[in-house]
Structures are given as structure tokens and as C-alpha cells.
Amino acid sequence: MNHIAQTKEALGPPAGPATAFFARLAERITKFSGTTLAFCVAAGLVLVWALTGPLFQYSETWQLVINTSTTIITFLMVFLIQRAQNKDSLVLHLKLNELIAATKGASNRLINAQDFTEDEINILHQYYCLLAEKAQKENDLGRTHTVEEAEENHQEKVEAHQPKAARRR
């Protein structure tokens, strides 16, 4: 059984028809909301609302219509936009994970780095800061360094500074 089949099995049955329908609807609305047509429709509605002001004597009800409409649309769009960003972020992480997994010499510890704690991320950030410093000291731009190489160098430095008696143990 391949890895994708194992993953599907572990995740359980696919989402039901209602979830699939909502996913398709949300995707269509998200795509449409970023188009020129959507902007023109929204601008047109605001223009129609503004032009009807004299007809309704700029009443509180007239103002309430635009305020309520825009508030509801904004409220719903926040969730749709967040859903789209979550999906895009997940896809980006999957692509990066694939590149890491497929690249010889890459540190597999970075696969699913988005799930790391803040402390773990800070530790890795410090490693990469060390690698950047190391790269700056060398004039060879083609030379690469890995986290593992930095760890080995660090360990060698630690051992070099230990008293000889401590090294023998």
C-alpha cells in the first residue's frame, strides 16, 4: 500500500456531500470576489444606493441598508478569505515538504515545520543564523551548509574547549 493510500485510510471516509457542496461554493465565491466584475458589481450597488438617497430623503433606513449590507458581506467574506488562505498555506507547506523530502542533503526535520512550537522554530532560526554567518565568512558562494554540518562543527568546538580528561570519558 502506498503512502497516499495509507494517509487516506488514516483520515477516514471523505467529507459528505454537504461539505463538498460548501467547499465548491466557497471556492467559487472566493474566486469571483477577486475579479474585476465583482468590484464593478459592488461599486454599482454603492452607486445605486447613493443615487437613491434623494428618493428616500437620506433617511436613517436608507443609511441602515448600506451599513447592514456591507457589515454582513464583510463578516462572511472574512471567513471565506481565511478558508482560502488556510488552504493555500497548507498546499504551500505540502509543496515545500515535497521539495525537502526529495532534496538530497536537506534536513528532513523541517518537514511539517508549520507544526513546530515557537521555541522549536526559534531554535531552528538560531541554527540558520549561524549558517548565514558561516556563509558570510566564506568567499565561496557555491558552498552550502546544513543544520547537521553546523551541529557537527559546534560539537567539535565544544570538544576542543573541554579539558583533555573530560574528552577521554
In this prediction, residue 140 carries a pLDDT of: 62
Residue-wise pLDDT tens digits, 111-125:
888 899 999 999 989
Instruction: Give the predicted TM-score (pTM) of the model.
Output: 0.61
pLDDT of 141 higher than 60: no
DSSP string, the chain: --HHHHHHHHH-SPP-HHHHHHHHHHHHHHHHHTSHHHHHHHHHHHHHHHHTTTTTTT-HHHHHHHHHHHHHHHHHHHHHHHHHHHHHHHHHHHHHHHHHHHSTT--GGGTTGGGS-HHHHHHHHHHHHHHHHHHHH-S-TT----HHHHHHHHHHHHHHHS-HHHHH-
pLDDT of 91 higher than 90: yes
In this prediction, residue 54 carries a pLDDT of: 96
Residue-wise pLDDT tens digits, 23-37:
899 999 999 999 999
What percentage of the chain has pLDDT greater than the value 70?
78
Residue-wise pLDDT tens digits, 46-71:
999 999 999 999 999 999 999 999 99
* 3 or 121, which is more confident: 121
